[in-house]
Structure 1
Amino acid sequence: MSPATAVALCALAWAVFLGAHLALNGRWWPWLAVSLLPPPLFAAAPLALLAAAAAAGSVPGAALAAGCLLAGWRESGVNWRALQRSSAPGVRPEGVRVVSWNTQHWNQGREPDRFYAFLHTVPADVYLLQEYLNGFEGGEVWDIDDEERLRDEFPGHHLSVDNNSVTLSRFPPAGPPVPVGACSLRVDLRTPDGVLSTYNVHIPVQLTVMNPLSRAFFRDMRRRHEARRREYDALVADLLANPHPFLVSGDFNTSAAIGDIRRMPRSARDAIGANRSLFPASWHARWKLRLWRIDWVFTSTGVRVERYAFRDPGGLSDHLAQDVTITTTDIEEMNG
């Protein structure tokens, strides 16, 4: 077999795999395990095949590799819009600053003073904090009550707590907090420009670490797939019925390579274009090599993302904090 033929066959095999991935990802529960592949692979594999095809002189291999690169680009997590930088580094635009962070079981096992000190290093108008709970030992989750400390630390903020989520806002709520599904929290805020809906999101993880050859592994994966679907369905239904402009942020436990993220409605626009990183990563915060993004920010029409960055929590969580500045000049008109 000639090198050109070998490259063409490898490119064909990748094209078949990519086709199956795009067709089954987010739709068939066993594919959830396959979707955990590193997102960069969906750019690296076709690029390597392109280089091999050029070296071997394989025109069919090059054509297949180029097609796979284009078809799988969204799966790669590459932020091409980072190349279109418009604002100078270090310049913080005016607007509403939102900090969203999965706290990894709040301050469990850590010094509370360090925990709150970090939050004060990112002074925000709105905080969307996930995993307001302790536990998971033996499968148990323990509710906590840190509201007194929260009110003491953030006296100028309004506090909303539900679904193991905390929303702190300088803007008063326009109504009671609304639990969305079992893991997210909607809070409508009265900003100077009108009502803005914030969604504090935490989608369940996909897998439990156990023997992947056991029946229990597959039962657990299917159960988690259904739980994730219910949470996405509840979130999407609320977004579609919401007349207000919105900002959705939190830990989706979903990389760019996981098809579940495609469940988000067209009205929810990914804010990553305001980030300056070509390959933005929010996890794993405790490792020197950050892997990929599983924390997201989405906004609706009328909400413009001016700046989007990730902040290192200094070992307090395995998630980086999302730091977003938005402007809301069109909200009042949208609210009628």
Structure 2
Amino acid sequence: MTAVLLSCALVWAVFLALHLALNGRWWPWLAVSLLPPLVLAAVPLVLLVAAAVTRGWAAGALAAVCLLVGWPQNGVNLRALRRRSESAEGLRLVSWNTQHWNQGGDPERFYAFLRSLTADVYVLQEYLNGFEGGEVWDIDDEERIRAAFPGHHLAVANNSVTLSRFPPAGPPVPVGVCSLRVDLRVGDGVLSTYNVHIPVQLTVTNPLRPAFLRDMRRRAAARDREYAALVDDLRGNPHPVLVTGDFNTSAAIGDIRRMPRSLRDAIGACRSVLPASWNARARLRLWRIDWAFTGGGARVGSYRFRDAEGLSDHLVQELTVTTPHA
């Protein structure tokens, strides 16, 4: 039994080594890295328990090493266990992938839900219509948006919508072809909001067909371009920043390491040990692919994921943010 257990631990160690070496560096590994991040903690933990029962100390030691080495990519938020008080101070922001902007739904219900979020700043993705696996259509719902949010400033570009009670400090700046930067005049300073939407990794089709690999390689190249454009703009930005949206990247996907080290993940302000934002319509949610980062002196006081009431497959990110000049 101990020999079988050691073999299982060795197989997992080899897989983990390949994952750490290839993840975010070799495009075909994108398909492998779609595994639920929690697997990177669950497998070595099961091996550790089995090793304790069978006294397979070699397998247990190897499993412990795998658990520690793979910990940063398992999505577990141990900071939620610390006792800390949430701060409601600062501006209230929501970030949400609307899943094709209410395509086929009731507009009144959709806009009523948005208004119920009562945010100072709305950062919304997928301002478009379309269907899985191909063509999308641009839409024009600006008149309805302005009517639903009087007193808000509206910026629309790159299939993104940013609504704010704070006036813009300049024109909106498209970042790549899928994200949008909007500089807001907050207090005596400027807060740069980045409305991010990184392309999805693959289309769910027959993986044995050559078209599947061609499509995945094309999407990997698009992801590379979007991340590169985002990081380049961030590095040249002198203002406090809030970077949030649908990254289509879990903790197990190496692409998230591309974000500048100067940014702080908002998850430290979240009270969930196993935070997940997708799939909002499923009972078991295993992936956090929607993120929020701050930098340049901007800080998050509270952060949580809110149910989207069946309107999208993404949960809503809700957070409060303070800036140095507010």
Please report the TM-score for the alignment, with normalisation by the length of structure 2: 0.97
Q: Give, as a single letter, the amino acid of the residue that structure 2 aligns with 1:44.
A: A
Aligned to 2:34: 36
Deviation of 1:136 after TM superposition, in Å, equals: 3.0
Deviations 1:226-259 (A, max 9, x none): 1111100100000011111100000001111111
Question: Which of these residues, 249, 255, 272, is aligned with residue 267 of structure 2?
Answer: 272
Give yes or no for the alignment of 1:81 onto 2:79. Answer: yes
Give the conservation status (yes or no) of the 8 Å contact 1:302–1:331.
no
**Residue 229 of structure 2 corresponds to which residue in structure 1?**
234
C-alpha displacement at 1:140, in angstroms? 2.1
- Return the match for 1:200 from 195, 199, 213: 195
- TM superposition score normalised by structure 1: 0.95
Aligned residue for 2:96, secondary structure, equals: strand
Mapping for residues 86-105 of structure 1, pairs under 5 Å: 86-87=84-85, 93-105=88-100
Q: Could you tell me which residue of structure 2 aligns to residue 286 of structure 1?
A: 281
Post-superposition offset of 1:92: 5.8
What displacement does 1:301 show?
Answer: 3.6
Name the CA distance, whole Å, in 2 between partners of 1:102 and 1:241.
26
Quote how far apart the aligned CAs of 1:173 are.
Answer: 0.6
Matching residue's letter, 2:19? H
Q: In the alignment, does 2:55 pair up with 1:57?
A: yes
Stretches of structure 2 lacking an aligned partner (at least 5 in a row): none
Cα distance between partner residues in 2 of 1:281 and 1:291: 6
Structure 1 position 122 matched with structure 2 position 120: no
Structure 2 counterpart of 1:45: 43
Distance in 1 (CA, whole Å) between partners of 2:52 and 2:134 is 53
User: Counterparts of 1:57 and 1:211 in 2: how far apart (Å)?
Assistant: 43
Which letter maps to 1:247?
L
What whole-Å deviation, never above 9, does each CA across 1:113-147 have from its counterpart, x for those lacking one?
Answer: 00011111111110000000112377321111111
2:7 is paired with a residue whose SS is: helix
Shift of 1:85: 2.8
Q: How far 1:291 sits from its partner (Å)? A: 2.2
Aligned to 1:259: 254
- CA RMSD of superposed structures (Å): 1.3
Counterpart residue type for residue 106 of structure 1: W
Native 8 Å contact 1:245 1:331 kept in 2? no
Aligned-residue sequence identity (percent) comes to: 73
Report the Cα offset of residue 44 of structure 1: 0.2
Contact persistence 2:124–2:195 (CA under 8 A):
yes
What is the aligned partner in structure 2 of residue 14 from structure 1? Answer: 12
Equivalent residue for 1:175?
Answer: 170
- In the alignment, does 2:224 pair up with 1:224? no
Residue-pair matches, total? 326
**Structure 1: tracts of 5 or more residues without a match:** none
- Which residue identity lines up with residue 194 of structure 1 in the other structure? G
Distance, in Å, in 1 between the alignment partners of 2:77 and 2:188 is: 30
- The alignment partner of 1:139 has SS state of coil
1:100–1:249 Cα contact (<8 Å) kept:
yes
SS at match of 2:63: helix
Residue 25 of structure 1 is matched in structure 2 by 23
